[in-house]
Amino acid sequence: MESTIRQNSSIKHELDITLSKDELEPYFTSVFKEAQKNISMKGFRKGHVPLNMIKKMYGASLESEAVEEAVQQEFAKAAQKEDVRPIGTPSITHIHRTESGGLHFTVDYEVMPQVTLGEYKGLPARKIFHVIEESELQSELERVRENFATNEEAEQITDENYSVVIDLQRTEGENLVEDNAMRDVRLYLRRPDVNPELKSLLINTKVGDTFRIDLPTGENQELNNYEVTVKEIQHIILPELDDELAKKGLGEEATLEDLHEYVRQGITAEYDRRYNGYFRDELINALLERHEFEVPETFVSEVLRSFGEDMKKDKQLPKDFDQAKFNEEMRPTAEKTAKWALLREMIIEKEGLRAEEADYEGLADIEAQRTGIDYETLLNYFKKTDKIRDRILAEKSLQFLEDYATIQEVEDRELTALEALQGGESAGDTATDEGTAETATVEAGTEDESK
């Protein structure tokens, strides 16, 4: 056997292998003899059909099987001889029989990149913070009031403290478009997203009243005329912003001052959570900038596959979903993710980071409260699951980078609109549109149709 390695890049290699006729012949003999055991033919007992007859009748298919076996076995031998350590699945890019009756084939494969761990402590990153304005605090306090509001049926809307159920029927001239209607649409007139002109026309209306209005609809926000019918009105009675409201939300010992502080902390926590992803992204980018290396396609493909699986979990993909286009668009992110994963493993090993008992216990406690599953059951499962260990170590490696980072604190109002948007959408950290954390907690225990 002759073998030659070609390095097309730092990680993409080719192995050329040539077998002589004598080296290839044993594979043919082995395959033919194995087939002989199971072939029966008139005039011969099963297992005793002559090899020359088997070759004549089944030669083409059996030779293909023999060649496949030869490729697998000889590549394994050559890889051991040349100390080749492929990752992923090698692929045969060329194969042919030689003039002398032997075999020549080429195998493409990837190897792990040779990466020397360089600078990873003291990486620069901006830590964004938010200064709460009084208007924000008051807006969140109003949400708390709304969550504890009471409703009563009403015949007429007199101000914006009303919830209304309406039908919107599309019109063309004097005619109604029967197949284009929105039924039982509930609006809370205090909400800022209610169309101002619609709100103005609804005030002073009564149950059963109708009127027409041009409203922007569709992706292009084109104006279309609708007939609006008022079907139901509820008066929203807001509680006073006082100690009694604080007690309802936080407990019998709470005061209005406590409620203010609780809401303030919640706003701060939400912004911190939102911007933490941006901070971590900058740390990872700084790490990658200091470690230039080629990332194996094997790893990139696996990351792209996981992205696709995550999308399927999150939402139903359309029938015309273009997987190739998705992979092309997500490739830069996949390459970054794969590089970070390789460097992360090196940091974990060098710093001796380990998943400790306390890590499993903390995670099990959080998940037990969230899911209601028994704590001990979760703890035992987590300690046996490699993915959980990897999740803990991934978090520890990021925390390590944070602990040693060179931090520049920046108020979010100093950032451009694009930077602020990126801060809210950074990797693994999705901002919510449902209000801040404290509101979600305070609103527990009340159900309001106006929400």
User: What are the distances in angstroms from CA 26 to CA 20, 63, 430?
Assistant: 11, 11, 61
Q: Which residue from 423, 353, 432 is spatially nearest to 391, judged by alpha carbons?
A: 353
What is the band of 435 on the pLDDT scale with cuts at 50, 70, 90? Answer: very low
Q: Is 104 left (phi over 0), alpha (psi -120 to 50) or beta?
A: beta
Q: Compute the distance between CA of residue 403 and CA of residue 424 in angstroms, rounded to an integer.
A: 22
pLDDT at position 433 over 80: no
Task: Indicate the pLDDT class of residue 134, thresholds 50, 70 and 90.
Answer: very high
Average pLDDT over residues 414-422: 62
Amino acid making up residue 97: R
Which range (111-125, 293-307, 372-386, 420-434) has the least confidence? Answer: 420-434
Which residues does residue 188 pair with via DSSP β-bridges, in sequence order? 163
Give the model's confidence band at 59: pLDDT under 50 very low, under 70 low, under 90 confident, else very high: low
Mean pLDDT of 375-388: 95
- 8 Å CB contact between 190 and 143: no
Q: Is 17 helix (H, G, I), strand (E, B) or coil?
A: strand
Q: Which helix (H) or strand (E) holds 127?
A: strand 124-129
Residue linked to tokens 């706003």: 267
Beta bridge partners of 109: 13
∠ CA 25-28-32 to the nearest 5 degrees? 140
Ranges 55-69, 285-299, 331-345, 347-361: which has the least confidence:
55-69
Phi first, then psi: give them for residue 322, nearest 5 degrees.
-95, 95
pLDDT band of 219, cuts 50, 70, 90: confident
Measure the CA–CA gap between 448 and 437, rounded to whole angstroms: 18
* Residue 420: predicted pLDDT: 54
Kindly state the tokens that stand for 251.
């407990």
Task: Provide the CATH topology of domain 2-110.
Answer: Alpha-Beta Plaits (3.30.70)
Does residue 165 contact residue 183 with C-beta atoms inside 8 Å?
A: no
450, 142 contact by CB (below 8 A):
no
CA 231 to CA 30: how far, in whole Å?
85
Residue 50 has what pLDDT? Answer: 73
Query: Distance (Å, rounded) from C-alpha 5 to C-alpha 8?
Result: 10
**Tens-place pLDDT, residues 10-41:** 999 999 999 999 999 899 888 878 777 767 76
Segment 120-148 shows an average pLDDT of 94
Report the alpha-carbon angle 93-95-101, nearest 5. 165
Domain range 150-237, its CATH number among 3.40.50.1970, 3.30.465.10, 3.40.50.1220, 3.10.50.30: 3.10.50.30
**Which candidate, 31, 34, 27, places its Cα nearest to that of 75?**
27
To the nearest 10°, the Cα dihedral for 362, 363, 366, 367? -150
Question: What residues have CB less than 8 Å from 358, skipping those under 6 apart?
Answer: none
* Helix, strand, coil fractions of the chain, as percent rounded to 5: 50, 25, 30
Q: Residue 41 gets which letter from DSSP? A: B
Task: Round to the nearest angstrom and report the end-to-end CA distance of the chain.
Answer: 76
Token pair 């050559």: residue: 78
The percentage of residues in the chain with a pLDDT greater than 90, rounded to a whole number, is 70
d(CA 87, CA 110): 6
Q: Which residues contact 73 (CB under 8 A, 6 or more apart)?
A: 27
Q: Residue 429: pLDDT above 80?
A: no
User: How far apart (Å, rounded) are the C-alpha atoms in residues 450 and 189?
Assistant: 9
Closest listed residue to residue 190, CA positions, set 145, 133, 249:
145
In contact, 270 and 437? CB cutoff 8 Å: yes
CATH architecture of 124-129+244-442: Orthogonal Bundle (1.10)
Give how far Cα 79 sits from Cα of 38, 93, 108, 109, 115, Å. 34, 17, 12, 11, 22
Domain ranges, ordered by start, for the chain: 2-110, 124-129+244-442, 150-237
